[in-house]
Chains A and B, each alone.
Chain A
Amino acid sequence: MQNNLLKSFAGRQGWTSILVLALVLMVVFPLGLDIFRLNLVGKYLAYAFVAVGLVVLWGYGGILSLGQGVFFGLGGYCMAMFLKLEASDPISTKIQSTPGIPDFMDWNQLTALPSLWQPFQSFSFSLLAVIAVPVLLALIMGLAMFKRRVGGVYFAIITQAVALILSVLIIGQQGYTGGVNGITDLKTLLGWDIRTDTAKYILYFLCAGLLIGAIITSRYLLGGKFGMLLLAIRDKEDRVRFSGYDVANFKIFAFCFAAGLAAIGGALFTLQVGFMSPSFVGIVPSIEMVIFAAVGGRMSLVGAVYGALLVNFGKTYFSESFPDLWLFLMAALFIGVVMAFPNGIAGLYESIAKRRSAKSDDTKSEPLASAPEKTAAAADKAHWPHPGAATATQS
């Protein structure tokens, strides 16, 4: 069985692309970029978690969520809350009227730590909350919508509304959330200064390593029956339902999984950037995240990472040079990609690779379908997969 499992992984050209990505992230970038730029890449990689989740949810499951920023943000905020409490020890906040609570609470005339914040003094609770809070919200949203067969555009609009609600809520509850500024001035993680260059290197490698882990996990999910069912649901939902599957459960799981990945990305974002704010929660960032996946290729886990990198590099470059034009450019990019390359960069790459291999095959392959009445035995030899062999999914 283990042999079969190995085969199902090794038999894929997809493994090569994961390896190449790992090399780029772990060797090429760290060697080629200074720490400032590497830290920037790390920030983009945090977004890539969301894009990888969207490949599972949107690419395979056909469920477009325009509210992934919610989960990214919640993961990021859970991490930021812990870091903020650590940075707000009574000594460094002794000039406040209430020392020992985060500065923005003091500014907002809060005199004690709100009960919502209390558990975030524990590191293990905070780590758990990073994943559990967003996944729980996704579970509730999923149950409420998918069990009632809300899907398609309606689902997208509702996720969008949730993104708006959460960002308005965060901005409005200034005393509890830091408001529009977010949670800033994060300094140490369990006493370890996250602002030093060494820490930035370590966090970058942690981020890249977890991202590769996320891709491999997603790949395992998509490579098996679960992935086939997601494609089947996207294609003919009723057929799946009338084959004995409770379709809503599969959608809910995919939604929770994507939310969990987004949340991990959010937490890593907070760690690397040193703050979290509502500008990563609302509608615009949520849509940008979908664009990362679309540009990279919504059927490709690896492509999603390149998409996130490319769009963010573009954003950094263009928004510096033409700050007013960037949003239009982004929109044009999205429309252009969807119209011209519906499968994104990965799709483009694949079709080029296919054309090339087709060319080289022309010379050696014999004409197809010469015998109309092929015997079953011949067909067996040619096509029938072996047990445990990989089921086809794209990289």
Chain B
Amino acid sequence: MASKELILSVEDLTVSFDGFKAVDGLNFYLDKDELRVVIGPNGAGKTTVLDLICGKTKATNGRIRFKDKELTKLSEHQIVREGVGRKFQTPSIYENLSVFQNLEVSFPKGRSVFGSIAFKRSELVTERVRAVAEEVLLTDVPDLEAGLLSHGQKQWLEIGMLLMQDPELLMLDEPIAGMSVRERELTAQLLQRICKGRSMIVIEHDMDFVKKIADKVTVLHQGKVIAEGSMDKVQADEKVIDVYLGH
């Protein structure tokens, strides 16, 4: 594990909202092909860290290096084009488009205005959409308006939209929130399938789920990392028990 190359290194990252430091001098390193789960109590700054990496929030201080690129200087769509995909906490899909169209729109070709006007649905695109739809268990409903999907299916669809872009780093914010037990299981399997060949950061509260998928766990508290390591190690950590697991 130790000899693996880093894909993401976050150093001294700080963001303050009117003096309140949501993330405070955070250091965080992610190996290539690693699946990291970030846990922590409410308000620990988990979502903010993802916002900072994907450019939604601008850092007050610190550096975020993804491969050789400094992300803090790039705009959101440039960060995506570098290979960072991000799923939002509440399913964020295009309700008025069909499942097929949701995936097709996410295909990383025709991203400029004129590129999109000239874009033609080729065999390649259809094949890719079909493959991704199969991956996220939505093969049966390509023509359904996405707004009519169940909550769990919407979550899967958004993951599928990210897979269309084939990101090297995939960040998921509470992917199983609001899912049934069966859907959670399927999602765990899905994550284990799609994490092959890419790095992932997952924010999650459900400890059983975390145990199932995590290579390594990072615990955040008040914008700082208080523990990092395997699930067992983290669960045994005094500090973690004190601020989070114990309650």
Docked-complex contact A239 and B116, CB < 8 angstroms: no
Among A175-183, A204-212, A277-285, A387-395, the stretch in contact with B: A387-395
Question: Are B116 and A226 in contact (CB-based, < 8 A)?
Answer: yes
Return A311 CB to nearest CB of chain B, in Å.
26
Q: Counting CB contacts under 8 A, is B244 at the interface?
A: no
The answer to whether A4 and B126 touch across the interface, beta carbons within 8 angstroms, is: no
CB neighbours of B100 from chain A (8 A): 384-385
Q: Is the CB of B77 within 8 A of A241?
A: yes
Residues of A within 8 A of B126 (CB): 384-387
Report the Cα distance A391→B85, complex, angstroms. Answer: 25
- Contact, CB under 8 Å: B165 / A228: no
* CB within 8 Å for A249 and B112 given contacts A235-B94, A238-B88: yes
Query: Does chain A have a CB within 8 A of B80?
Result: yes
Complex CA gap A374/B138 in Å reads 11
Total contacts A to B, CB within 8 angstroms?
118
Residue in contact with B119 in the complex, picked from A225, A247, A385, A392, CB distance below 8 Å? A225
Q: Please report the C-alpha to C-alpha distance between residue A385 and residue B123 in the assembled complex, in whole angstroms.
A: 10
Give Cα distance in the complex from A221 to B92, angstroms: 25
**Neighbouring A residues of B113 by C-beta, 8 Å:** 226, 249-250, 253
Query: Is A243 part of the binding interface, using a Cβ–Cβ cutoff of 8 Å?
Result: yes
Q: Which residue of B lies closest to A376 (CB)?
A: B139
Option from B104, B111, B134 in Cβ contact (under 8 Å) with A245: B111
Are B119 and A224 in contact (CB-based, < 8 A)?
Answer: yes
Q: Are B120 and A239 touching (Cβ within 8 A)?
A: no
CB distance from B101 to the nearest CB of A (A): 5
With both beta carbons as reference points, the residue of chain B lying nearest to A1 in the complex is identified as: B120
| Complex contact A384–B142 (CB within 8 A) | yes
Provide the main secondary structure of the chain A interface. helix
Provide the bound-state CA to CA distance between A387 and B140, in Å: 18
Nearest CB of A to B97, in Å: 6
Contact for B140 among A221, A240, A379, CB less than 8 A: A379
With A and B bound together, what is the CA distance between A380 and B100 in angstroms? 12
The listed residue (B93, B98, B111) touching A392 by CB distance below 8 A is: B98
Cα A383 to Cα B141 with chains together (Å) = 8
Contact partners of B116 in chain A: CB under 8 A: 224-226, 229, 250
Are A244 and B54 CB-contacts (below 8 A) given A239-B92, A388-B121?
no
Q: Distance (Å) between the CB of B156 and the closest chain A CB? A: 15
Question: Given A229-B116, A242-B86, A388-B121: A236 and B104 within 8 A (CB)?
Answer: no
Q: CA separation between A386 and B143, bound complex, in Å?
A: 12
Q: A243-B106, A387-B123 are in contact. Are A236 and B94 (CB under 8 A)?
A: yes
Which residues on A sit within 8 Å (CB–CB) of B3? Answer: none
Tell me if A231 counts as interface (CB < 8 A to partner B).
Answer: yes
| Smallest CB separation, B142 vs chain A (Å) | 5
A232 at the interface (CB under 8 A from B): yes
* B215 beta carbon closer than 8 Å to chain A: no
Within the complex, the shortest CB–CB distance from B107 to chain A, in Å, comes to 9
Say yes or no for B150: interface residue by CB 8 A criterion.
Answer: no
Contact present for B121 and A391 (CB under 8 Å): yes
Q: A235 to B119, alpha carbons, bound, how many Å?
A: 21
B111 and A244 within 8 A (CB): yes
Measured between alpha carbons, how far is A228 from B75 in the docked complex, in Å?
A: 23
The CA of A387 and the CA of B120, in the complex, are separated in Å by 8
The verdict on A197 contacting chain B, using a C-beta distance below 8 Å, is no
Residue A246 is within 8 A (CB to CB) of chain B in the complex: yes
Given A235-B96, A379-B140, answer yes or no on A242-B117 (Cβ-Cβ < 8 Å): no
Whether A236 pairs with B105 at a CB distance below 8 angstroms is: no
Min CB–CB distance A15 → chain B (angstroms): 19
A387 touches B125 (CB 8 A): yes
Whether A376 pairs with B134 at a CB distance below 8 angstroms is yes
Is the CB of B65 closer than 8 A to any CB of chain A?
no
Partner of A243, one of B96, B122, B139, B161: B161
Chain B 8-50 near chain A by CB (<8 Å), digits 1 or 0: 0000000000000000000000000000000000000000000
**Judging by beta carbons under 8 Å apart, are B101 and A391 in contact?**
yes
Beta-carbon contact of B122 and A387 below 8 Å: yes
Q: Using Cβ atoms and an 8 Å threshold, which residues of chain B touch A234?
A: 96
Closest 9 CB pairs of A and B: A244-B80, A225-B119, A225-B116, A226-B116, A232-B94, A239-B92, A253-B113, A235-B94, A383-B142
Interchain Cβ contacts under 8 Å between A and B, 26 examples: A4-B120, A224-B120, A226-B116, A228-B104, A229-B116, A236-B92, A236-B93, A238-B88, A239-B88, A239-B93, A239-B94, A241-B77, A242-B85, A242-B86, A243-B80, A243-B161, A244-B165, A246-B75, A246-B77, A379-B140, A383-B141, A385-B142, A386-B126, A387-B121, A387-B123, A388-B122
Residues of A within 8 A of B (CB): 1, 4, 221, 224-226, 228-229, 231-232, 234-236, 238-247, 249-250, 253, 374, 376, 379-380, 383-389, 391-392
Supplied contacts A225-B105, A236-B94, A243-B161, 18 more A-B pairs, CB within 8 Å: A225-B116, A226-B113, A228-B104, A229-B105, A238-B92, A239-B94, A239-B161, A242-B76, A242-B77, A246-B75, A246-B111, A379-B139, A385-B100, A385-B143, A386-B126, A387-B121, A391-B101, A391-B121
